[in-house]
């Protein structure tokens, strides 16, 4: 049986670190939260579930296609939502009245196609479910005009379907989790090189469907930059693209499928560029005199082709609370003052790392940054998957904690950051830059505050204010989390009404009944 996360939080029970004792002082001084546990998730048996609404005649048909249909409480609750703050608030409270009526797990492309056709005929909404890590409401069980909804669990679309070592490409089944894909590729001396913070649980298909970005994407590129071809089952048939390195055969259809978030159909396989397993990795900490100076150093390195593979710069607030949560608040603050922590990382042969590091170090020093320690980099690499576990502990203690992300040009970066921070008064909002491009960079915000009496309304208001500010300041509504339900109201502001119309026409062509992931993306 495939490992599952808890339905109300991150990872398996007890698998992650807990909030350290010294965090209590930080919570008290920065957020006015006393650190006591004031809320716990409900037990599975206390979750409120609606009666399954599927036509009883349909279940045997879906069972005949896949041999894997579940309607039990656990399956429905586990496939009810993703992992955003709002998802977790609802799951912790046991509010699963709208949970999928059934969880259907096809084993291959033809079974996916048959399930979609059956659901289109029967008028049943379908939500594709990869790793379940969406943070934009992409998995919410919205039925649209339909009376019933299934979660299409892609876990059985598993395995490496082909590796071309000469061309450095691999065909991967969409339901593979990223660590499984990397383990299989390692046997060929290869890696995907795609490591989002959700790495342990996210799937290949989910990453393509949301155009995700890994932590080393400055060096390795985003998933869409590594996408060579896709195979997608839609209710109206197969949409597949040719695995060639480049083509001028019209607009790139594979890039229309990438980022389609299950609204057109189900990605069943992806051909991705893969990379030789690096012989060595080096991560280290630097201190920039200010966020602006650190950004300037990164910009110059990117333009000189000398940026590290991992290039991550925290602003003053994020630096402060990162150190405080690591138990280094007082000591480190005295030592580093208002400097900003940057993590730089390189992957490759030891010689290439040494050469690239020398060049980057020169650029960083030129902007006034100084080398801190290699330990800080190792510590970041060691604990980079810990944050989501700590989030569960913060929710137990009545803390609002959520992230926002955007991207813009280098010229607009400072103004966009200022606009987002101004839109979030009364919060502790830290920010980092973590994905560099020749023309600009991403900004990633972590927003912390004491929960008020209505935490859902509190976050909705904060999110709306921040997203309005992002749009007004010329940033994208999402750099890598995707649109889902949460960003859909702002999509027209980014791509225009005609742009939305083009996407809608595409959906209507692939999914005329409108069963695919209603209410997401569009
Ligand atoms: C703690 C945490 C950290 C994260 N860190 C990052 C990060 O560093 N970088 C980043 O980019 N994102 C990050 N995310 C967001 C999320 O992990 C990504 O969006 C990821 O790509 C989703 O993959 P998944 O397999 O979990 O997809 P799911 O969450 O299962 O699905 C995401 C969306 O895609 C659709 N979908 C899933 N699979 C398919 C398919 N095969 N075909 C068609 N549609 C499909 C779903 O219906 C849904 O709308 C993070 C999320 C969390 C909770």
**What would the DSSP string read from start to end of 152-168?**
EE-TTS-SEEEEETTTT
pTM over the 0.85 mark: yes
The reported pLDDT for the residue numbered 185 is: 98
The reported pLDDT for the residue numbered 327 is: 76
The reported pLDDT for the residue numbered 479 is: 98
Q: Is the CB of 196 under 6 A from ligand 1?
A: yes
Q: Is the CB of 128 under 6 A from ligand 1?
A: yes
Q: Is the CB of 130 under 6 A from ligand 1?
A: yes
Bridge partners for 404 per DSSP = 445
Nearby residues of 46 by Cβ (< 8 Å), 6 or more positions away? 94
Nearest atom within ligand 1 for CA of residue 195: 8
**Are the beta carbons of 507 and 489 closer than 8 angstroms?**
no
Euclidean distance between CA atoms 440 and 409, whole angstroms: 4
The reported pLDDT for the residue numbered 361 is: 98
Nearest atom within ligand 1 for CA of residue 138: 49
> How much distance in Å is there from the Cα of 356 to the middle of ligand 1?
32
Closest C-alpha residue for ligand 1 atom 34: 261
Nearby residues of 501 by Cβ (< 8 Å), 6 or more positions away? none
Bridge partners for 287 per DSSP = 341, 370
CA angle 513, 173, 245 (to 5 degrees): 95
The reported pLDDT for the residue numbered 295 is: 98
The reported pLDDT for the residue numbered 301 is: 98
Euclidean distance between CA atoms 312 and 434, whole angstroms: 4
Would strands 69-70 and 124-129 be described as parallel, antiparallel, or unpaired? unpaired
Percent pLDDT > 70 in the chain is 100
Euclidean distance between CA atoms 518 and 522, whole angstroms: 8
Nearest atom within ligand 1 for CA of residue 215: 8
pLDDT in tens, 251-308: 999 999 999 999 999 999 999 999 999 999 999 999 999 999 999 999 999 999 999 9
Mutate to test the pocket of ligand 1, among 135, 206, 443 (most ligand atoms within 8 A of CB): 206
Euclidean distance between CA atoms 129 and 266, whole angstroms: 10
Q: Which two structure tokens, joined as six digits, stand for 190?
A: 């290869």
Nearby residues of 215 by Cβ (< 8 Å), 6 or more positions away? 195, 196, 197, 310, 312, 384, 434
| DSSP classification of residue 440 | E
Q: Average pLDDT over the chain, rounded to whole?
A: 96
Euclidean distance between CA atoms 360 and 485, whole angstroms: 40
Q: Which two structure tokens, joined as six digits, stand for 227?
A: 């996408």
Handedness of CA 479, 199, 229, 513 (dihedral sign): negative
Closest C-alpha residue for ligand 1 atom 50: 198
> How much distance in Å is there from the Cα of 134 to the middle of ligand 1?
4
Euclidean distance between CA atoms 283 and 286, whole angstroms: 10
Burial class (CB in 10 A: 0-12, 13-18, 19+), 412: middle
> How much distance in Å is there from the Cα of 370 to the middle of ligand 1?
36
**Are the beta carbons of 177 and 184 closer than 8 angstroms?**
no
Closest C-alpha residue for ligand 1 atom 11: 212
Nearby residues of 54 by Cβ (< 8 Å), 6 or more positions away? 71, 101, 102, 124, 148, 150
Q: Is the CB of 202 under 6 A from ligand 1?
A: yes
End-to-end, the C-alpha distance of the chain in Å comes to 35
Euclidean distance between CA atoms 356 and 349, whole angstroms: 11
Low-confidence ranges of the chain (pLDDT < 50): none
- For residue 448, the SS3 value is strand
- Backbone conformation region of residue 436, classed left if phi is above 0, alpha if psi is from -120 to 50, else beta: beta
Euclidean distance between CA atoms 437 and 86, whole angstroms: 31
Burial class (CB in 10 A: 0-12, 13-18, 19+), 37: exposed
Q: Which two structure tokens, joined as six digits, stand for 49?
A: 């579930």
Q: Which two structure tokens, joined as six digits, stand for 329?
A: 């608040």
pLDDT in tens, 440-488: 999 999 999 999 999 999 999 999 999 999 999 999 999 999 999 999 9
Task: Indicate the length of the chain as a whole number.
Answer: 522
> How much distance in Å is there from the Cα of 261 to the middle of ligand 1?
9
Q: Rg (Cα) of the chain, in Å, rounded?
A: 23
Nearby residues of 392 by Cβ (< 8 Å), 6 or more positions away? 8, 9, 10, 16, 88
Closest of 72, 62, 45, 56 to residue 107, by C-alpha = 62
Bridge partners for 285 per DSSP = 343
Bridge partners for 191 per DSSP = 275
Q: Is the CB of 480 under 6 A from ligand 1?
A: yes
Q: Is the CB of 127 under 6 A from ligand 1?
A: yes
């Amino acid at each position: 049986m495939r490992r599952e996360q808890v339905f109300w939080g991150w990872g398996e029970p007890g698998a992650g670190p807990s909030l350290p004792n010294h965090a209590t002082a930080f919570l008290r001084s920065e957020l006015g939260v006393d650190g006591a546990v004031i809320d716990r998730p409900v037990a599975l048996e206390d979750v409120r579930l609606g009666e399954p609404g599927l036509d009883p005649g349909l279940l045997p048909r879906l069972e005949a296609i896949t041999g894997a249909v579940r309607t039990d409480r656990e399956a429905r609750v586990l496939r009810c939502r993703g992992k955003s703050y709002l998802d977790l608030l609802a799951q912790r409270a046991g509010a699963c009245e709208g949970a999928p009526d059934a969880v259907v797990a096809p084993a291959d492309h033809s079974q996916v196609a048959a399930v979609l056709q059956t659901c289109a005929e029967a008028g049943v909404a379908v939500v594709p479910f990869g790793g379940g890590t969406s943070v934009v409401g992409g998995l919410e069980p919205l039925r649209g005009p339909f009376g019933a909804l299934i979660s299409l669990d892609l876990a059985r679309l598993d395995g490496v379907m082909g590796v071309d070592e000469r061309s450095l490409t691999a065909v991967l089944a969409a339901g593979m989790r990223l660590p499984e894909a990397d383990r299989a590729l390692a046997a060929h001396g290869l890696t995907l090189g795609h490591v989002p913070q959700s790495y342990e649980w996210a799937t290949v298909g989910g990453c393509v469907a949301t155009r995700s970005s890994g932590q080393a994407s400055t060096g390795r590129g985003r998933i869409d930059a590594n996408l060579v071809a896709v195979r997608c089952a839609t209710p109206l048939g197969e949409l597949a693209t040719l695995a060639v390195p480049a083509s001028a055969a019209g607009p790139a259809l594979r890039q229309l499928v990438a980022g389609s978030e299950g609204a057109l159909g189900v990605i069943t396989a992806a051909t991705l560029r893969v990379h030789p397993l690096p012989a060595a990795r080096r991560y280290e900490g630097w201190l920039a005199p200010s966020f602006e100076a650190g950004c300037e150093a990164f910009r110059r390195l990117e333009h000189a082709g000398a940026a590290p593979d991992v290039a991550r710069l925290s602003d003053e607030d994020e630096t402060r609370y990162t150190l405080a949560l690591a138990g280094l608040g007082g000591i480190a603050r005295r030592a580093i003052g208002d400097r900003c922590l940057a993590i730089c990382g390189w992957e490759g042969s030891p010689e290439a790392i040494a050469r690239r590091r020398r060049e980057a170090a020169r650029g960083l020093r030129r902007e006034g940054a100084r080398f801190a320690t290699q330990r800080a980099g190792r510590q970041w690499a060691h604990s980079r998957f810990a944050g989501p576990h700590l989030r569960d502990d913060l929710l137990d203690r009545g803390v609002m904690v959520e992230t926002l992300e955007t991207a813009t040009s280098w010229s607009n970066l400072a103004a966009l950051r200022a606009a987002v921070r101004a839109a979030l008064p009364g919060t502790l909002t830290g920010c980092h830059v973590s994905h560099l491009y020749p023309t600009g960079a991403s900004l990633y915000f972590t927003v912390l505050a004491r929960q008020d009496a209505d935490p859902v309304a509190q976050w909705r208001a904060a999110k709306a204010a921040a997203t309005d500010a992002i749009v007004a300041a010329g940033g994208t509504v999402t750099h890598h989390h995707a649109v889902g339900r949460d960003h859909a109201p702002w999509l027209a502001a980014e791509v225009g009404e005609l742009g939305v119309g083009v996407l809608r026409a595409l959906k209507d062509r692939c999914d005329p009944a409108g069963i695919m992931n209603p209410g997401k993306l569009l």
